[in-house]
Amino acid sequence: MRDVTDETFSQLLELSKTVPFLLDMWAPWCAPCRQLGPILEKAVQQAGGRVALAKVNVDESPAIGQAFRVQSIPAVFLLMNGQPAPLFNGRLARFVRAGSHQQGHRVGAKGRCHGSR
């Protein structure tokens, strides 16, 4: 697992040319994000090196979230061959989390939660 910041994101794009990355956009205050994180980590571990995981704290690295037009977290993208592709966000993430019925949260100014979508 690799933590990515606004400053290191270009390096991740380069790495994605050799191994695909799941890019997990999250925030510490987001309960659905904290639930999804271990699920993604386990899935990547089970992939046996065929895919890697990178995490972006959208509060600490807002430029990445803005560039990806993230409006709801958790938001997960696939980075492959230096190109991003959206996988799911907010509402859809709840279907990935086993046994959870919580929805994602919209990202607001200064990291405030705007409630469930």
Catalytic residue list:
30, 33
- Calpha distance 94→15 (Å, rounded): 29
Separation of alpha carbons 76 and 91, rounded Å: 12
Q: In the numeric block, which tokens belong to residue 65?
A: 């979230």
Distance separating alpha carbons of residues 111 and 12, to the nearest angstrom: 24
